[in-house]
Amino acid sequence: MTFIYLAFILIITFLAIRLIQVLPLIFIKNNQITEAIKNSWHNTGPRFWKIIVRFILVILIASLVKFAVIGFIVSFQRLLDLMLEKNIAFYFAIGNLSLIKIIQLLLGIWASALSALIVVVDFYQDEKITNSSLYKNTEIHFKKKLGKGSYTISALIILIISIVNFRNYALFINNHDNTKILEISHRGVDGNNGVQNTIPVLKKTAKLKPDYVEMDIHETKDHQFIVMHDANLKQLTGLNKEPYQLTLKQLTKLKVRENGQSAPMASFDDYYQTARKIHQHLLIEIKTTPHDSKNMLDIFLKKYGRIIVNNHDRVHSLDYRIVDGIKQKAPKIFVSYIMPYNLIFPNTKANAYTMEEATLDESFIFGAKNENKQVYAWTVDDPDDMDRMQFIGVNGIITNELSKLKKSIKTNNKRTTYAHRIWLYAKENSIFDFSTIEN
């Protein structure tokens, strides 16, 4: 899979370089699209590696400047954290984070302008008009236009951007003080300590004291509930059936196998009873299929609704009908809407959002906080991603690696200086690994 991804990136890069003159040819020389593609392909052939080297130099210079500046700012903030009172250091931290954003903006503009120049210079050379009067007149025209007024306007724009984002910077710097990260075990496991969604692994993982164990349920043929993630049983049991095709009694006779281990498939009744006995809170994912009974949610709420509320457990689902139904019929239940992609911020009745971490960003977090809703990130197994999720201010992290998450949270809680938070921001927004700055 990695090879395919790498090959795709190389092909896209090759095509981008070979077609880089298409737009200039269309807008400057009035080429038709097909003619522009043909001419760009012809013009860039002899210069292919020359263009790549130029772009690499631009990226490298911009990145090195950014690296040096951020290193200086983090070091300076570290001194302020030691020398000044916390509230004063806080405002300096906001200013330093604003400075990083401004530098990023200026470097981005510089890199974009230089990249455009790489294309235009070669284009002018192709047209043999580099020293022509047209080129000189164009240069003089732009020099006249770019007087002191343009620099003043640019400075004002940067100042306005900084002021508008002041609240966001303050939230970035302060979020570790205000957010308690919920530690949530995905399917009840910690690494390979047992078979997902089974009672034996629930007991093992509960000893690590996660805030919640996330687990999954399906409706059975006889309208009971079985603890199972997959819509088909084959991968974990070897039986090519779906939960709705078997009764609860038939399902609980099956063995679930994973990572060289096995355990009995659990009914939700037994699983829930065990969780309550060992004082472990649950985050219950209600799985749905087209084969569910029409009153499946009513059956679930009648049997478990009051217990869930009294035990302070929570529910989430990919099916918004479940979320909406629970808020209508049992509004006291805390329910989260699972979203696999961050495309637009939704308008829902949910108390929280369970968001796939790859597309989760700070703008979504701010939107949720403005509506007093929580955000849980899933499934976060890499320590760097755990750091990122903590930094952008999620309320909970769902992971298959509970021990790693606990270590990450503990480490970050010990290093909640403002300098460290600025470093986390720099690490999140850079192609470099800034671990050398932190150390």
Which DSSP helix (H) or strand (E) runs through 72?
helix 48-83
What does the alpha-carbon distance between residue 332 and residue 312 come to, in Å, rounded to a whole number? 10
Domain-located, residue 159: yes
pLDDT range class, residue 432, cuts 50, 70, 90: very low
Domain-located, residue 249: yes
Is the Cα dihedral 51, 52, 53, 58 positive or negative? Answer: positive
φ/ψ of 396, rounded to 5, equals: -155, 155
Instruction: Identify whether residues 185 and 147 lie together within a single domain.
Output: no
Domain-located, residue 422: no
Q: Which residue has the higher pLDDT, 267 or 161?
A: 267
Instruction: Identify whether residues 351 and 207 lie together within a single domain.
Output: yes
Instruction: Identify whether residues 172 and 185 lie together within a single domain.
Output: no
Per-residue pLDDT tens over the stretch 111-132: 888 877 776 666 555 555 444 4
| Top-ranked range on mean pLDDT: pick from 12-26, 47-61, 121-135, 337-351 | 337-351
- Decide: 188 and 198 in contact? Cβ < 8 Å: yes
What does the alpha-carbon distance between residue 362 and residue 376 come to, in Å, rounded to a whole number? 13
Instruction: Identify whether residues 58 and 157 lie together within a single domain.
Output: yes
Strand 212-219 relative to strand 225-227, pairing: antiparallel
Least confident span in 46-50, 262-266, 298-302: 46-50
Per-residue pLDDT tens over the stretch 272-312: 999 999 999 999 999 999 999 999 999 999 999 999 999 99
Instruction: Identify whether residues 108 and 164 lie together within a single domain.
Output: yes
pLDDT at 164 (0 to 100): 64
Mean predicted confidence (pLDDT) in 235-264 = 96
Instruction: Identify whether residues 203 and 98 lie together within a single domain.
Output: no
pLDDT range class, residue 174, cuts 50, 70, 90: low
The DSSP call for residue 21 is T
Residue type, 229: H
Is the Cα dihedral 356, 358, 364, 366 positive or negative? Answer: positive
Q: Which domain holds residue 164?
A: 2-177
What does the alpha-carbon distance between residue 256 and residue 166 come to, in Å, rounded to a whole number? 52
Find how far residue 197's CA is from the centre of its chain. Answer: 25
The DSSP call for residue 267 is B
Mean predicted confidence (pLDDT) in 143-147 = 53
Domain-located, residue 40: yes
What does the alpha-carbon distance between residue 158 and residue 132 come to, in Å, rounded to a whole number? 36
Residue type, 292: D
Instruction: Identify whether residues 320 and 378 lie together within a single domain.
Output: yes
How many structural domains does the chain have? Answer: 2
Terminal alpha carbon distance of the chain? 34
pLDDT at 433 (0 to 100): 41
What does the alpha-carbon distance between residue 230 and residue 216 come to, in Å, rounded to a whole number? 9
Instruction: Identify whether residues 162 and 17 lie together within a single domain.
Output: yes
What does the alpha-carbon distance between residue 147 and residue 420 come to, in Å, rounded to a whole number? 40
Q: What is the CATH number of the domain that holds 289?
A: 3.20.20.190
Which DSSP helix (H) or strand (E) runs through 104?
helix 86-127
Instruction: Identify whether residues 122 and 219 lie together within a single domain.
Output: no
The b-or-e profile of 15-47 (16+ CB within 10 A means b, else e) is eebbebbbebbbeeeebeeeebbebbeebbeeb
Which of 144, 177, 210 is at the close of a domain?
Answer: 177
**Full 3-state SS string of 191-259:** CCCCCCCCHHHHHHHHCCCCCEEEEEEEECCCCCEEECCCCCCHHHHCCCCCHHHCCHHHHCCCEEEEC
**Percent residues over pLDDT 90 in the chain:** 49
| Top-ranked range on mean pLDDT: pick from 107-111, 344-348, 404-408 | 404-408
- Decide: 213 and 280 in contact? Cβ < 8 Å: yes
Report the SS3 class of residue 47: coil
pLDDT range class, residue 36, cuts 50, 70, 90: confident
Instruction: Identify whether residues 269 and 381 lie together within a single domain.
Output: yes
Instruction: Identify whether residues 22 and 148 lie together within a single domain.
Output: yes
Domain-located, residue 406: no
Going through 367-411 in order, the beta strands assigned E by DSSP cover 374-378, 396-399
CA–CA distance from 295 to each of 13, 210, 223, 418 (Å)?
Answer: 53, 33, 9, 52
Instruction: Identify whether residues 62 and 26 lie together within a single domain.
Output: yes
What does the alpha-carbon distance between residue 140 and residue 145 come to, in Å, rounded to a whole number? 9
In sequence order, the 6+-apart residues with CB closer than 8 A to the CB of 388 are 357, 424, 428
Which residue matches tokens 């796939």? Answer: 356
Domain-located, residue 353: yes
pLDDT range class, residue 395, cuts 50, 70, 90: very high
